[in-house]
Amino acid sequence: MDFVCLELKLIIELDGSQHSEQADTERTVFLNQLGFRVFRFWNHDLFNNLEAVLEQINLVVGEQEKVV
């Protein structure tokens, strides 16, 4: 887990070369069962397209704030 906001039950994961799709899927299913929403971004997207990553996070947070 790279970032968690308990209040919004939001988890952001950054995936790089150590990425294991099967392990990530299992962890995401488990976290979803606990009520968390998990969003994944590739490391290179964070470093090369930060604005787009932040825009997606802002959209998610904005949606959740309406519900909270």
- pLDDT tens, position by position, 21-44: 888 889 999 999 999 999 999 888
Give the model's pLDDT for residue 65.
Answer: 59
Q: In what order do the strands lie in the sheet with 37-42?
A: 3-5, 10-15, 37-42
Task: Return the half-sphere exposure (C-beta side, CA atoms, 13 A cut-off) of residue 31.
Answer: 20
pLDDT-derived band at 19 (thresholds 50, 70, 90) equals low
Give the model's pLDDT for residue 66.
Answer: 57
Share of the chain above pLDDT 70, in %: 90
Threshold 0.85, pTM exceeds: no
Closest CA to 19 of 46, 43, 53, 3: 43
Residues in the chain: 68
The residues spanned by each domain of the chain are 3-67
From CA 47, how far away is CA 20, in angstroms rounded?
A: 20
